[in-house]
């Protein structure tokens, strides 16, 4: 039987590869971005509360009204954006589903979509599966600065979509207000939709402010902003997120959403709605994760790895160019097998496997785990 693959060049996800190697060799796993500490017992009790209250049947397609209202209240407090929770917020089965649905809603055969690399690995395949053509803007360490003139030159009559990610995984860089204003300027008087991947909105450091697309009136009118409860509340396995967009864009999003997911886990939605009432459950995150970043960085300071600043997300990039000239994937595999520490090669976030001799380490871990990882790095 002949199968005409829609993604013929796609290999097994680097996250699955490196986590598999970590398990095989008993290595400390700082490759995949998930915490090794417990989810809030209060939040888990709330899920159980609503299960016992028989909130176990299909939720409304856009999400339960209580959660959408709680999100509208949160967004107004944070970004001064007044939303209609009935028409501008949709609960999703995680951020990746939200991204795929948004791309599917707006990209068709021959349409062009611009992404910035290093990029989350779901963007490009989703564009291609919908017949689109990806245009790559390559950014380089250590600052990953965007040349907006180059972006403007990349836009053509076929450009239908631009995807941004701030704070950025894996780069740890954060878009500035000027970045958002330039994006607004170059998309003005076009039909370009902006997907703003903001899943790390609350994991931002050094006194920086998250520049959400929701803050900018003109930009918001063409934007779909994507968020993740899993990233915010340390529960990545729950696969629950949401999107925010003006009604005309959300209407198109929901046309696709209803046929690939329809509705999302009901008791978790009620639990999250109640948990959001205490704003400290998310406003405390910058300090919480900055302390973990600082702990990890402090303990690898004397290693031969060069520390690339991380201003957001829970990832830290380390440059090993003073240690080896091996390509990133080979060095990551060697370190997992021989030294017992798993990471992700930064080249995996570039379509052309751009090699900068950089590895990504996830630090949402207990201090004991981070200390053991630092000891390994210091000994290399």
Which is nearest to 59 in space by CA: 100, 96, 98, 90?
A: 90
Is residue 225 within 8 A of residue 243, CB to CB? The reply is yes
Is the separation of the CB atoms in 50 and 267 below 8 Å?
A: yes
Separation CA 291–CA 170 (nearest Å): 19
Q: Which two tokens stand for residue 354?
A: 């751009």
Cβ partners under 8 Å of residue 57, min gap 6: 266
What is the percent of the chain where pLDDT is above 90? 95
Q: Compute the distance between CA of residue 343 and CA of residue 307 in angstroms, rounded to an integer.
A: 15
CA dihedral sign of residues 239, 274, 71, 204 = negative
Fold observed for domain 62-281? 3.40.640
User: When comparing pLDDT for 4 and 322, which is higher?
Assistant: 322
From CA 313, how far away is CA 172, in angstroms rounded?
6
Distance CA 291, CA 271 (A): 28
Which pLDDT tens digit goes with each residue over 150-189?
Answer: 999 999 999 999 999 999 999 999 999 999 999 999 999 9
Residue 9 confidence (pLDDT) above 90: no
Cα four-point dihedral sign 59, 239, 273, 82 = negative
Sign of the dihedral defined by the CA atoms of residues 263, 265, 267, 271, in that order: negative
Give the list of residues 6+ apart from residue 1 with CB closer than 8 angstroms, or none.
none
Rg (CA), the chain: 21
**According to the model, what pLDDT value does residue 146 have?**
97
pLDDT tens for 115-142 read: 999 999 999 999 999 999 999 999 999 9
Would you state the structure tokens that stand for residue 178, as one six-digit string?
A: 């000027």
Instruction: Please name which of 363, 327, 369 lies closest in space to residue 28, comparing C-alpha atoms.
Output: 369
pLDDT of the residue at 364: 96
What is the C-alpha to C-alpha distance for residues 96 and 268, in angstroms, rounded to an integer?
18
Phi, psi of 161 (to 5 degrees): -150, 140
- Concatenate the DSSP letters of all residues of 125-140 into one string: HHHHHTT-EEEEEE--
pLDDT above 90 for 34: no
At the second CATH level, the architecture of 14-32+285-378 is Alpha-Beta Complex (3.90)
- Burial of 277: CB neighbours in 10 Å, binned 0-12, 13-18, 19+: exposed
pTM higher than 0.75 for the full model?
Answer: yes
The domain ranges of the chain are 14-32+285-378, 62-281
pLDDT of residue 240: 97
DSSP three-state, residue 211: coil
Cα separation, 351 vs 137, whole angstroms: 10
**How many CB atoms are closer than 10 A to CB 333?**
18
Answer whether residue 32 shows pLDDT above 90. Answer: no
Question: Residue 90: beta bridge partners?
Answer: 243
| Residue 163: both structure tokens together | 């995807």
Please tell me the least confidently modeled range out of 2-16, 96-110, 124-138, 169-183.
2-16
- Which pLDDT band, with edges at 50, 70 and 90, does 86 fall under? very high
36, 342 Cβ separation under 8 angstroms: no
Strand order in the sheet with 223-228: 89-92, 241-244, 223-228, 193-197, 159-165, 112-117, 133-138
Instruction: Please check whether the two domains, 14-32+285-378 and 62-281, share a CATH topology.
Output: no
Q: Which of 354, 353, 373 is nearest to 363 (CA)?
A: 373
Could you tell me the two tokens for 250? 């959300």
């Amino acid at each position: 039987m002949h199968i005409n693959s829609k993604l013929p060049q796609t290999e097994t996800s680097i996250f699955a590869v490196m986590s598999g190697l970590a398990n095989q060799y008993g290595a400390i796993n700082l490759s995949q971005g998930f915490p090794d500490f417990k989810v809030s017992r209060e939040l888990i009790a709330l899920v159980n509360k609503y299960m016992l209250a028989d909130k176990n049947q299909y939720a409304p397609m856009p999400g339960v009204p209580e959660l959408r209202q709680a999100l509208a209240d949160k967004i107004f407090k944070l970004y001064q954006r007044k939303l209609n929770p009935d028409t501008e917020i949709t609960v999703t089965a995680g951020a990746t589903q939200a991204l795929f649905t948004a791309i599917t809603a707006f990209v068709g055969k021959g349409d062009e979509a611009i992404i910035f690399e290093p990029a989350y690995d779901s963007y490009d395949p989703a564009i291609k599966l919908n017949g689109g053509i990806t245009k790559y803007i390559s950014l380089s360490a250590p600052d990953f600065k965007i040349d907006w003139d180059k972006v403007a030159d990349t836009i053509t009559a076929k450009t239908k979509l631009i995807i941004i990610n701030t704070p950025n995984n894996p780069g740890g860089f954060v878009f500035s207000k000027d970045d958002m204003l330039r994006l607004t300027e170059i998309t003005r008087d076009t039909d370009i939709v902006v997907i703003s991947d903001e899943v790390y909105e609350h994991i931002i450091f050094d006194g920086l402010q998250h520049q959400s697309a929701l803050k900018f009136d003109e930009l918001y009118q063409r934007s779909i902003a994507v968020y993740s409860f899993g990233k915010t509340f340390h529960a990545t396995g729950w696969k629950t997120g949401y999107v925010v967009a003006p009604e005309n864009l959300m209407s198109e999003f929901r046309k696709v959403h209803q046929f690939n997911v329809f509705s999302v886990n009901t008791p978790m939605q009620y639990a999250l709605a109640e948990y959001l009432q205490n704003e400290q459950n998310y406003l405390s995150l910058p300090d919480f994760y900055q302390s973990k970043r600082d702990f990890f960085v402090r303990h690898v300071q004397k290693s031969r790895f060069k520390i690339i600043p991380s201003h957001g997300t829970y990832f830290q990039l380390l440059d090993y160019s003073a240690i080896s000239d091996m390509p990133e994937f080979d060095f990551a595999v060697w370190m997992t097998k021989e030294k017992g520490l798993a990471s992700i090669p930064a080249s995996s976030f570039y379509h052309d496997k751009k090699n900068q001799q950089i590895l990504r380490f996830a630090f949402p871990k207990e201090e004991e785990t981070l200390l053991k990882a630092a000891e390994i790095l210091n000994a290399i």
